[in-house]
């Protein structure tokens, strides 16, 4: 199956943006520039390049493009366990397609309504709207949590309990600035540090 270069979530937005820009150009000429800026921004936001994940058996890969903002041992509230948490913050210029960090079976999906504070803040993990999936693997359990941000107003998740996911497989999308938290067994070893930029579907977050 051919991988679309532009995420399907953005097709209607882009159609409307470029149609508005063309109409504005016809009606007001150079005053249409703000419409073209918005159209170009939307085009870069909804880009969704294909990625080939590393196939190392012990690798957990980044579920999103962005910057690492958390690497710490915490309590995973979804599976009630001690875990290694690694969080990736996506700004509006990052690719917002979310990918499975591991191969495994979806054992649970939890949606939690909430607020929309800056996703760069720690409290976003517990206060913001979010959607978590539990992925079971032979090496252990992984919780991947999509979190809405200050501007983001919609989390899209396309998997259900019982689905099989392959490492790097696209499973969701978050619109306009957000975050993904990954909870791993406490014995996992982080391969990234705070402030590091990562590429979804390609960068190795941790090994276990």
Active site positions, annotated: 178
Pair of tokens at residue 147: 């979190």
Residue with tokens 């366990």: 81
Instruction: Compute the distance between CA of residue 89 and CA of residue 118 in angstroms, rounded to an integer.
Output: 10
C-alpha distance across the termini of the chain, in Å: 31
Rounded distance, CA 67 to CA 89, Å? Answer: 5
The length of the chain, given as a count of residues? 208
């Amino acid at each position: 199956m051919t991988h679309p270069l532009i995420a399907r979530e953005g097709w209607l937005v882009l159609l409307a943006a470029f149609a508005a820009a063309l109409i504005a150009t016809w009606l007001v000429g150079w005053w249409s520039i703000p419409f073209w800026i918005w159209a170009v921004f939307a085009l870069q936001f909804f880009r969704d390049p294909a990625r080939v994940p590393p196939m190392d058996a012990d690798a957990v890969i980044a579920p999103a493009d962005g910057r690492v903002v958390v690497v710490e041992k915490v309590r995973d509230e979804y599976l009630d366990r001690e875990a290694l948490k690694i969080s990736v913050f996506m700004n509006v210029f990052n690719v917002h397609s979310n990918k499975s960090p591991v191969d495994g079976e979806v054992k649970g999906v939890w949606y939690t309504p909430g607020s929309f504070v800056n996703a760069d803040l720690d409290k976003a993990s517990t206060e913001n709207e979010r959607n978590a999936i539990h992925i079971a693997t032979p090496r252990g359990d992984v919780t991947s949590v999509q979190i809405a941000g200050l501007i983001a107003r919609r989390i899209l998740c396309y998997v259900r309990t019982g689905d099989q996911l392959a490492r790097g497989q696209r499973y969701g999308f978050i619109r306009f600035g957000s975050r993904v938290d990954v909870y791993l067994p406490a014995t996992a070893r982080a391969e990234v540090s705070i402030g590091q930029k990562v590429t979804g579907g390609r960068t190795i977050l941790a090994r276990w």
